[in-house]
Structures are given as structure tokens and as C-alpha cells.
Amino acid sequence: MPTTLLSIRGVTKNFAEVEALKKIDLDIHSGEIVGLVGSNGAGKTTLLRLMAGVYKPSNGRVELSNGKPVEEMRQELGVVPESTGLYSRLTAWENIRYHSRMHGVNDAVAWARTEKFAEHLGMKENLSRHTKGFSRGMKQKTALLRALAHGPNILLLDEPTAGLDITSARTVRALVRQLRDEGGTVIYSTHQLAEAQQVCDRIVIIHNGEIRADGSPSELLSSTGTSSLEDAYVSLTLDQARPRQEEADKESALSSWWRRLFTPRTPATTMEVFENE
């Protein structure tokens, strides 16, 4: 029976009046790639941030196998956010080393792991370069190396191939599968069903803050009586998708005042100006 590394029980997350996630129950087991699949605004990134300990749940709990909350055990996790957050004035290795030292990992160990994975990503020759001039793909690969350097038990990836060229995306997916084959555990957030089918052992479909399905690709097809994952997804998400959280947030009084102050007047008002001249 697989070992449960991360347990999510009864988790709800609210932002003001918006319920971003609703009573989520989910277990992440060792040695699997779990795909979080959903449209923009479905709740994927919110769930990832809860798993990473960046957010605390409004209700429920997110715990590691030792029973401790994830925010107390972040060294167990490697996180690659959609925005890489690299320091442009540092080299790729300096970014990685800084992150590893924060996790208490000495430079020799971090370098050995970085060198190993950089070889697979075709990044070994670029580790001494400043990240300021890096392409999107090189930044994403550096962020992936940074997340792996301290030897995490669980790797959290938020849209890891978004904006990458075909070759870079294939390289990232190949590394993710290699990590799984070596016993690693990966949570892979994407809105691309085809990509999830290529990479993931298990797919969790999230829609409007709820888990609509959880299983292998073949199990999802069987449970929905469909012949393709696209048809399965559509059958599970017939209700209209909500907007992204930031679109639903209310505008603050200060933001509203600032916008009115610097927004040009309407065309009709502009015409009145010309008529009065």
C-alpha cells in the first residue's frame, strides 16, 4: 500500500466573501505524479499554496505524514511557482545556492544535486550566467533546479511548461517522469488535459473550488462513460466556470479613488470640450 506523504482534510479557503475552495479531501502518495487540472480560477493555485504552507486554510487541515502542518515543515517541499521569482543580478547557481542555504543545505550537497539535474535539463553550461538575460525556458529550468537542490520529498509545480517552447516543455516533462521513476512525488498543476495525460499517473479535476474527479486517466474515462479525457472533463464541468479570484475581489476605496483620478474622461465628455471651444 502506498505511503501517504500529504493529507488534506475538509479544507475550505475563503477570500472575503469568495469561497475559493470548498471542503477539499485529498491524499498525496509517495512515488506518483498527481495532476491538478482545471480552468483559470478553478482553485488550482490556491490549493497548491495551501499545500506549500503559503496559505492557511479557513477550515480543515493540511498535514504531512508526520502529522505536522506543512507551514512548519517547508523543507520537505520543493516549489516552482508560475512566476519564477529569480534574482536577476545573481547567476543561476547563486540563486540556487541562496535558496539551499535557507533550507540548511551545505553548498557541496546542493551543487551535487544541481549538477546532476542540470545535465538532464541542458543547463550545466549556464549555471554561472546571470539570470537577467535568460529566456523564459531557462528561467523555468533554473527555478526547477532551485526547488530540487535541497532534496524535497514532494515537488509542487504550478503550470511548469506555460510559455515554454516545445523542446523545453518536453525536457521538463521528461525530468518530472524521471523524478517519479526514482521514487519522487510530484504535484503537477496544469490546465492542459493532453499534458496531464502524458505526464500524470493520477488526475484530480478541480472546478469552481471543488474536486469533481480523482483517478487515473482510464478510471476517469470509465467513471464518465466517455472515450477521451476531454469529453470526461466536459461532462464533469458543465456548470459555468467562475472568474479568477483577482477578478472577483472588490476594489478598495483607495484603488477606486486613484483610478478615477488618472482615468481619462469618456468620449462624450471629450466632445463637450470641443463643442465649448
CA atoms within 13 A on the CB side of 268: 0
Identify whether the C-beta of residue 60 lies closer than 8 Å to the C-beta of residue 8.
yes
Sign, CA torsion 79/85/91/97: negative
Residue 173, pLDDT score: 92
Domains of the chain: 4-88+135-251 (3.40.50.300)
- Better pLDDT: 221 or 66: 221
Q: Which of 104, 217, 84, 96 is nearest to 159 (CA)?
A: 84
Going edge to edge, which strands form the sheet with 18-29?
18-29, 4-15, 59-64
* Exposure b/e, 83-110, CB count within 10 A at least 16 = b: ebebeeeebbbbbbbebbeebebeeeeb
Q: How confident is the model at residue 191 (pLDDT cuts 50, 70, 90)?
A: confident
Q: Which of 47, 32, 45 is nearest to 202 (CA)?
A: 32
pTM equals 0.82
Q: How confident is the model at residue 277 (pLDDT cuts 50, 70, 90)?
A: very low
Residue 113, pLDDT score: 95
What mean pLDDT is reported for the chain? 86
pLDDT in tens, 71-121: 888 888 999 988 888 999 999 999 999 999 998 999 999 999 999 999 989
C-alpha distances in Å from residue 23, one per residue of 12, 20, 89 = 5, 10, 42
Q: Which of 10, 39, 50 is nearest to 26 (CA)?
A: 10
Whole-number Å distance between alpha carbons of 275 and 277: 6
Q: Which residues contact 186 (CB under 8 A, 6 or more apart)?
A: 32, 33, 34, 154, 155, 157, 176, 179, 180
Q: How confident is the model at residue 67 (pLDDT cuts 50, 70, 90)?
A: confident
Identify whether the C-beta of residue 151 lies closer than 8 Å to the C-beta of residue 105.
yes
Average of per-residue pLDDT across 205-221: 94
Residue 17, pLDDT score: 83
C-alpha cell at 144: 526547477
* Exposure b/e, 111-130, CB count within 10 A at least 16 = b: bebbeebbebbebeebbeeb
**Is pLDDT at 176 greater than 80 in this prediction?**
yes
pLDDT in tens, 119-132: 989 999 999 999 99
242: left (phi over 0), alpha (psi -120 to 50) or beta: beta
Residue indicated by cell numbers 506518483: 32
Identify whether the C-beta of residue 48 lies closer than 8 Å to the C-beta of residue 158.
yes
**Is pLDDT at 271 greater than 50 in this prediction?**
no
pLDDT in tens, 215-270: 999 999 999 999 999 999 999 998 877 666 544 445 556 555 555 555 554 444 43
Whole-number Å distance between alpha carbons of 20 and 71: 20
Residue 274, pLDDT score: 37
- Better pLDDT: 240 or 188: 188
Residue 272, pLDDT score: 40
